[in-house]
Structure 1
């Protein structure tokens, strides 16, 4: 996933929705999110750290979060696609459009 776009929500509110949804599932035990505009980070910490960094830009009522960096722990390599699928599912559930 290269990023996502969201219309009609602020980055702060949308990231809180993602965080709450993650914490309801198995990934929530290991997920940590930070938002310091224009940057957002989603990290997973267990037997290593995997971190996805996004740069957020606004255009009207739409914001776009584009992945600018990622660090995948060696121990997480096998689960990366599952983690990204879960993130995509949550983002889509809250009205985001995935950029492939």
Structure 2
């Protein structure tokens, strides 16, 4: 799904698991849709377990900390798996290129 937050001019894209937790999240900011986050819950947990959480957060961000069922004030738009994958792949490539 995706949601728009007009206060920050940011699109949020989410892949959500069966229990409502965000598995992967992309944030695109401004009219250019600049990727500012492309985080995976599994990667975040691995970074936490290996003591590299700050590095991961600074580079790729974090996923939402509450399950979708507890969110308020959002108007999600459904996406297909392929639509999310396209945004995910593009954001990850752009973030990686910016780190080079």
TM-score by length of 2: 0.33
| Higher-RCO chain (CA-CA 8 Å, sequence separation at least 6) | 1
Larger radius of gyration: 2
